Amino acid sequence: MIAAARPAIPARPFTATVAMGTAAPVALDAPDEAADDAPDAADEAPEAAELVALARCEDAELAREDAEASADEAAPEAAEEADEIWEEREAERDEADPLAPEAAEDA
């Protein structure tokens, strides 16, 4: 014969008393904790402002480092371009030097 299956959880009515019994301590603790946290909030405001200032400084420092890195990368390219322009101008001057006496005679 197979025995009847028992419910895993005993059937117990969920009443308002049970609900209030679990919720009441939480509700009573909330004002107490708020009162306990009030002095901490005054101490935390300057700390929070300091953390914000530090984060901004770090952001500014990272931006400066990025700008320096970009400048370091751009400097060799700019120097190379300047050298190329100098060489082109020098070649133009070298071509123009032999023609200068002829141009003076024609003038």
Through-space distance between the first and last CA atoms of the chain, rounded to whole angstroms: 133
Residue 53, domain member (yes or no)? yes
In a domain, 77, yes or no: yes
**Which is more confidently placed, 85 or 9?**
85
Domain contains 14:
no
In angstroms, rounded to a whole number, what is the distance separating the alpha carbons of residues 35 and 11? 41
* Domain annotation covers residue 64: yes
In angstroms, the CA 56 to CA 76 distance is 31
Measured CA to CA, the distance from residue 23 to residue 15 in angstroms comes to 13
pTM, 2 dp: 0.37
Q: Over pLDDT 90: what percentage of the chain?
A: 32
pLDDT, tens only, 42-92: 677 888 889 999 999 999 999 999 999 999 889 999 999 999 999 999 999
Q: What are phi and psi of 5, to 5 degrees?
A: -75, 135
Q: Does 32 map to a domain?
A: no
Q: Is residue 31 part of a domain?
A: no
Q: Looking at per-residue confidence, does 63 or 98 come out higher?
A: 63
User: Residue 60 belongs to what domain range?
Assistant: 39-106
Q: What's the number of domains the chain is made of?
A: 1
- Is 65 contained in some domain? yes
**What SS3 class is residue 66?**
helix
